[in-house]
């Protein structure tokens, strides 16, 4: 039992330790705490502050040791449970951290920092339902907490709860109507929802704040494109390209507008410009191959798809497009090889099976074609193409 004089001495040491700690004189603070602990080795206040000093010095092991010492004295000490949860979170022991935070909450000692840490942990574990539950609890304590609101908005976006995210970002804009990032995110959300008119209005508002932001202008042009206002879209894309001549995304977007208008030559020029900035973009190469095919330039299209497959042999769409081009050009054996490869990747791909059968018909290998049509009809007895071609083969073989 510590007498009153000893209590006064402990209080004096603790007060001095706190003053030194606030001044970042950590060794002096530690010295005062050790003096206090010589009088009362179970003084939880002294031990908690000592743990803070070790943590500030970056000595995680000693911090953890002191916190365990406190919990042996009082396993329900709320401040220590919270610190232990934060420490385990820092160490990456996420489930252990959750257990400490949960115990703290069960004892009725919840605060906004605990809920925010719990939200961060569950977010990193991919448990978005529990993340949102923690964020909602944090907002009950502090409805305008920006960290909780931003975390919530991010999770809503990730889980495609766009309406909830919109409410938060509309609130952000109302509170800070000059923050361009809020407009960009809100506009993007509307784009995810394919609400092009709403997105356009948001990006226009952003453009009034930052008229030279080319990303915003690109999004405005995209919205006009989706709203079928092609001339306006082209005009803005061309302006952006003039300012950023190496931006492959803008060239691609402009190419997409020309494709929609059926202006294949202009589209091709845009896609080739885009490839100049991103030569290894296989998706873009594939688009170029499709344009060549649409223009009737089969040889150029074949070269493009062969180039793609040299870089990525299992690129599914490239295999299929090249197989179809070979079939169209009566290059049958390579087409058969590719269709078989495609069917190994996707055994139920009916179009590949149908085209493979056509290849065998062209080779007059009627047994092979008939076998494929039987296979198709076994799964789809109403397939008219398979029915007609099977009857055609049977008539030939009579």
Per domain, the residue ranges of the chain are 213-279
What is the 8-class DSSP label of residue 25? -
What is the domain class of 213-279 according to CATH?
mainly alpha
How many CA atoms within 13 Å lie on the side-chain side of 188?
15
In tens, the pLDDT along 129-174 reads 999 999 999 989 998 888 898 899 889 888 888 999 999 999 999 9
Q: Does residue 290 or residue 110 have the better pLDDT?
A: 290
Identify the pLDDT of residue 108.
86
Would you say residue 372 has pLDDT above 80? yes
In tens, the pLDDT along 255-266 reads 999 999 999 999
In tens, the pLDDT along 184-235 reads 999 999 999 999 999 999 999 999 999 999 999 999 999 999 999 999 999 9
* Structure tokens given for 37: 């602990």
Across 333-360, b (16+ Cβ under 10 Å) vs e yields ebbbebbebbeeeeeebeebbbbbbbbb
Answer yes or no: are the C-beta atoms of 50 and 35 closer than 8 Å: no
Identify the pLDDT of residue 198.
97
* pLDDT above 90: percentage of residues in the chain: 70
What is the 8-class DSSP label of residue 193? T
In tens, the pLDDT along 329-365 reads 999 999 999 999 999 999 999 999 999 999 999 999 9
The rounded mean pLDDT for the chain is 92
What's the mean pLDDT in 369-377? Answer: 93
* Structure tokens given for 192: 């995810």
Identify the pLDDT of residue 344.
96
Q: Which residue has the tokens 């410009």?
A: 273
């Amino acid at each position: 039992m510590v007498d009153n004089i000893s209590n006064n001495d402990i209080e004096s040491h603790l007060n001095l330790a706190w003053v030194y700690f606030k001044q970042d004189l950590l060794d002096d603070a530690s010295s005062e705490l050790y003096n206090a602990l010589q009088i009362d080795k179970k003084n939880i206040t002294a031990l908690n502050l000592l743990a803070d000093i070790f943590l500030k010095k970056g000595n995680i092991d000693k911090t953890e040791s002191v916190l365990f010492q406190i919990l042996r004295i009082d396993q329900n000490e709320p401040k220590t449970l919270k610190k232990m949860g934060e420490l385990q979170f820092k160490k990456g022991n996420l489930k252990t951290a959750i257990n400490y935070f949960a115990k703290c909450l069960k004892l009725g000692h919840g605060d906004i920092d605990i809920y925010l840490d719990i939200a961060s942990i569950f977010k990193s574990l991919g448990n978005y339902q529990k993340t949102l539950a923690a964020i909602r609890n944090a907002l009950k304590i502090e409805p305008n907490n920006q960290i909780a609101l931003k975390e919530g908005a991010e999770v809503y976006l990730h889980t495609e709860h766009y309406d909830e995210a919109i409410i938060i970002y509309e609130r952000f804009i109302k509170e800070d109507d000059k923050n361009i990032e809020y407009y960009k995110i809100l506009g993007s959300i509307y784009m995810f929802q394919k609400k092009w008119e709403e997105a356009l209005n948001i990006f226009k508002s952003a453009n009034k704040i930052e008229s030279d932001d080319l990303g915003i202008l690109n999004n405005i042009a995209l919205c006009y494109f989706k709203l079928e206002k092609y001339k306006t879209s082209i005009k803005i894309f061309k302006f952006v390209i003039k300012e950023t001549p190496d931006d492959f995304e803008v060239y691609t977007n402009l190419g997409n507008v020309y494709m929609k208008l059926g202006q294949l030559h202009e589209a091709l020029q845009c896609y080739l410009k885009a490839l100049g900035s991103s030569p290894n973009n296989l998706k873009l190469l594939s688009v170029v191959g499709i344009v060549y095919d649409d223009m009737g330039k089969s040889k150029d299209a074949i070269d493009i798809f062969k180039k793609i497959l040299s870089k990525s042999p299992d690129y599914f769409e490239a295999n299929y497009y090249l197989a179809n081009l070979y079939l169209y050009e009566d290059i049958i054996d390579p087409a058969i090889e590719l269709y078989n490869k495609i069917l190994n990747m996707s055994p139920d791909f009916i179009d590949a099976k149908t085209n493979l059968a056509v290849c065998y018909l062209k080779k007059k290998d009627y047994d092979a074609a008939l076998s494929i049509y039987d296979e198709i009809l076994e799964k789809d007895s109403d397939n008219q193409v398979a029915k007609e071609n099977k009857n055609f083969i049977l008539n030939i073989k009579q």
